[in-house]
């Protein structure tokens, strides 16, 4: 398993593999000051890991020992999902990322975090636009065409989805456009046209048409197969996701007899990965498209002991508590805002023996752990994982058991 551990107390550099040359101080990115997407580019990777370890200890140390953060062996080009915003500058179409907290586009052709092939497909699309008399979309005037390009790639199966997001619906010569794109990148397995004319910071709009292929890609994680559509959430760092899910299943310590809840389950990944070791799994997720994907994913893996519900996890838990449902274990993996009080109170009422809490925000995780520890639980294990090298995000898996 490609991983790298570092201690908060001592940085024993001798026993650690050296970071790849490009990832020294400055990290080889000329744009990091302008872009702002990588908050920690001024640090070497070892320093970043120490910084994250300290952040995890500051937030979670009061609940117990924080294990050494698991870093990446090769912390570059790890992103399997890349999106670029399109705009117009000095008479030319540009593509890149929004400067942090603005709608000002910083032109980017190659990014240290992003999949190289995905980056090159985006550049190809940009270069093709003038030939088809297509321009970039102007958010202020509502005129023009291309607003974003989103590329998702499976590192395991090689499948690639390209989503062309336009601000206006008309896509003249789309068949020719797709044909040329495919001739330049034979690796592409699906092309989607998504329309988003709304004044919004969301990349994707409601309406989408599949122009080529199935409209989804499939990836393999922890030996299981997953279908990913344009809109559903999928972890963006597959190498570390396998580490994280492996930990979650390890923490769960399942014996085959348990009834398990996978809350905030996305496309059902954690539940499906754990399904061989449990009696029954229920997944709950708010995003209906993700739930549809989750059901397909269960079929793809011949997983018969799992069911999914499209619902707010908090409301679902209140109902489950009212119906006196019994769960032996709850996996919870909420978004950055953490869980809500409805969820946490009902979790305490349902009183599963174990809770595995995965979070991408140690601050809200600490808040939720405080509630759970006041209400019958103790934290047994705290394991940070570096899912997002060069950014300041810290992912952490915690195991809680009933006191
Ligand atoms: N466990 C999944 C997804 C984690 S991301 C994985 O590892 O891939 C968090 C998920 O919570 C997202 O899929 C999001 O759509 C979902 N979500 C956000 N708010 C929710 C809510 N109130 N109730 C249920 N699910 C919610």
Q: Ligand 1 mean position to 135 CA, how many Å?
A: 35
Ligand 1, CB cutoff 6 Å, lining residues: 233, 235, 264-266, 269-270, 284-287, 290, 312-314, 333-335
Q: Which of 117, 385, 57 is nearest to 235 (CA)?
A: 385
Q: Which residues of 316-341 are buried (b: 16+ CB within 10 A; e: fewer)?
A: bbbebbeeeeebbbbbbbbeeebbee
The pLDDT of residue 36 is: 83
Rg (CA), the chain: 22
The pLDDT of residue 4 is: 55
Minimum CA distance residue for ligand 1 atom 3:
266
- Given a cut of 50, whether residue 198 has pLDDT beyond it is yes
pLDDT more than 90, % of the chain: 85
Q: In terms of pLDDT, which residue wins out, 306 or 15?
A: 306
CATH 2.40.50.1070 fits 81-220, yes or no: yes
Q: Note whether 214 and 161 are within 8 A (CB).
A: no
Give the pLDDT mean for 173-196. Answer: 98
- Given a cut of 90, whether residue 66 has pLDDT beyond it is yes
81-220 and 237-402 share one fold? no
- Given a cut of 70, whether residue 24 has pLDDT beyond it is no
Q: Ligand 1 mean position to 92 CA, how many Å?
A: 39
29 pLDDT tier (thresholds 50, 70, 90): confident
Q: Ligand 1 mean position to 334 CA, how many Å?
A: 5
**What does DSSP say about strands 354-359 and 395-402: parallel, antiparallel, or unpaired?**
antiparallel
Dig out the tokens for 4 from the structure: 């790298």
109 pLDDT tier (thresholds 50, 70, 90): very high
pTM over 0.85: yes
Give the pLDDT mean for 106-126. Answer: 96
**Active-site residue flag, 111:** no
Q: Which of 246, 271, 285 to mutate to test the pocket of ligand 1 (most atoms within 8 A of CB)?
A: 285
pLDDT (tens digit, 9 = 90+) per residue, 353-386?
A: 999 999 999 999 999 999 999 999 999 999 999 9
Minimum CA distance residue for ligand 1 atom 20:
286
Instruction: Report the top-level CATH class of 237-402.
Output: alpha beta
Q: Ligand 1 mean position to 358 CA, how many Å?
A: 11
Give the pLDDT mean for 9-26. Answer: 41
8 pLDDT tier (thresholds 50, 70, 90): very low
Q: What is the pLDDT of the chain when averaged over all its residues? A: 92
Q: Which of 219, 331, 235 is nearest to 275 (CA)?
A: 331
Q: Note whether 381 and 338 are within 8 A (CB).
A: no
In the chain, where the domains are located = 81-220, 237-402
22 pLDDT tier (thresholds 50, 70, 90): very low
Kindly name the residue from 29, 35, 222, 360 that is annotated as catalytic.
Answer: 360
- Given a cut of 80, whether residue 181 has pLDDT beyond it is yes
pLDDT (tens digit, 9 = 90+) per residue, 257-272?
A: 999 999 999 999 999 9
Kindly report the three-state secondary structure assignment for every residue of the chain.
Answer: CCCEEECCCCCCHHHCCCCCHHHCCCCCCCCHHHHCCCCCCCCCHHHHHHHHHHHHHHHHHHHCCECCEEECCCCCCCECEEEEEEEEECCEEEEEEECCCCCCEEECCCCCCECHHHHHHHHHHHHHHHHHCCCECECCCCECCEEEEEEEECCCCCCEEEEEEECCCCCCCHHHHHHHHHHHCCCEEEEEEEECCCCCCCCCCCEEEEEECCCEEEEEECCEEEEEECCCCCCCCHHHHHHHHHHHHHHHCCCCCCEEEEECCCCCHHHHHHHHHCCEEEEEECCHHHHHHHHHHHHHCCCCCEEEEECCHHHHHHHHHHCCCCCCEEEECCCCCCCCHHHHHHHHHHCCCEEEEEECCHHHHHHHHHHHHHCCEEEEEEEEECCCCCCCCCEEEEEEEEC
Q: Which atom number of ligand 1 is nearest to the Cα of residue 290?
A: 13
Q: Which atom number of ligand 1 is nearest to the Cα of residue 262?
A: 1
26 pLDDT tier (thresholds 50, 70, 90): low
Q: Which residues of 350-368 are buried (b: 16+ CB within 10 A; e: fewer)?
A: bebebbbbbbbbbebbbeb
Q: Ligand 1 mean position to 276 CA, how many Å?
A: 22
Q: Which of 233, 246, 274, 341 to mutate to test the pocket of ligand 1 (most atoms within 8 A of CB)?
A: 233
Give the pLDDT mean for 216-224. Answer: 96
Minimum CA distance residue for ligand 1 atom 22:
312
- Given a cut of 80, whether residue 246 has pLDDT beyond it is yes
Q: Ligand 1 mean position to 308 CA, how many Å?
A: 13
Q: Ligand 1 mean position to 232 CA, how many Å?
A: 10
Q: Which atom number of ligand 1 is nearest to the Cα of residue 284?
A: 24
Q: Which atom number of ligand 1 is nearest to the Cα of residue 265?
A: 1
Residue 9: count other Cβ atoms within 10 Å of its Cβ.
Answer: 9
Q: Which of 286, 289, 388 to mutate to test the pocket of ligand 1 (most atoms within 8 A of CB)?
A: 286
Q: Which atom number of ligand 1 is nearest to the Cα of residue 331?
A: 1
Minimum CA distance residue for ligand 1 atom 5:
335
């Amino acid at each position: 398993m490609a991983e790298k551990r570092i201690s908060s107390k001592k940085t024993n550099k001798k026993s650690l593999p050296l970071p790849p040359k490009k990832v020294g101080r400055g990290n080889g990115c000329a744009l990091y000051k302008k872009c702002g997407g990588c908050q920690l580019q001024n640090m070497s990777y070892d320093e970043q890991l120490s910084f994250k370890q300290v952040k995890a200890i500051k937030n979670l140390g009061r609940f117990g020992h924080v294990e050494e953060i698991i870093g990446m062996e090769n912390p570059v080009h790890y992103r399997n999902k890349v999106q670029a915003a399109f705009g117009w500058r000095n008479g030319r179409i540009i593509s890149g990322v929004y400067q942090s907290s603005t709608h000002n586009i910083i032109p980017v052709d190659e990014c240290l975090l992003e999949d190289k092939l995905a980056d090159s497909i985006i550049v190809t699309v940009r270069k093709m636009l003038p030939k088809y008399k297509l321009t970039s979309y102007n958010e202020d005037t509502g005129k023009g065409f291309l607003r974003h390009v989103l590329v998702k790639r499976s590192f395991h199966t090689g499948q690639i989805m390209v989503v062309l997001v336009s601000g206006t619906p008309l896509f003249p010569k789309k068949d020719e456009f797709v044909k040329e794109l495919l001739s330049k990148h034979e690796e592409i397995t699906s092309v989607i046209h998504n329309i988003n004319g709304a004044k919004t910071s969301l990349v994707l709009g409601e309406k989408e048409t599949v122009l080529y292929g199935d409209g989804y890609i499939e990836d393999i994680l922890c030996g299981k197969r997953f279908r990913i559509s344009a809109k559903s959430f999928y972890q963006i760092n597959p190498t570390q996701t396998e580490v994280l899910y492996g930990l979650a299943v390890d923490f769960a310590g399942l014996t085959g007899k348990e009834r398990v809840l996978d809350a905030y389950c996305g496309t059902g990944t954690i539940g499906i990965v754990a399904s061989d070791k449990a009696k029954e799994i229920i997944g709950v997720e708010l995003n209906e498209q993700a739930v549809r994907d989750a059901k397909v994913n269960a079929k793809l893996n011949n997983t018969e002991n799992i069911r999914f519900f499209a619902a707010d996890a908090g409301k679902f838990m209140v109902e489950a508590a009212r119906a006196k449902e019994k769960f032996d274990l709850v996996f919870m993996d909420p978004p950055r805002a953490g869980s809500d009080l409805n969820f946490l109170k009902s979790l305490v009422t349902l009183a599963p023996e174990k809770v595995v809490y995965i979070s991408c925000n140690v601050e809200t995780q600490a808040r939720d752990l405080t509630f759970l520890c006041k209400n019958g639980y103790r934290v047994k294990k705290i394991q940070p994982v570096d899912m997002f090298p060069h950014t300041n995000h810290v992912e952490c898996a915690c195991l809680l058991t009933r006191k």
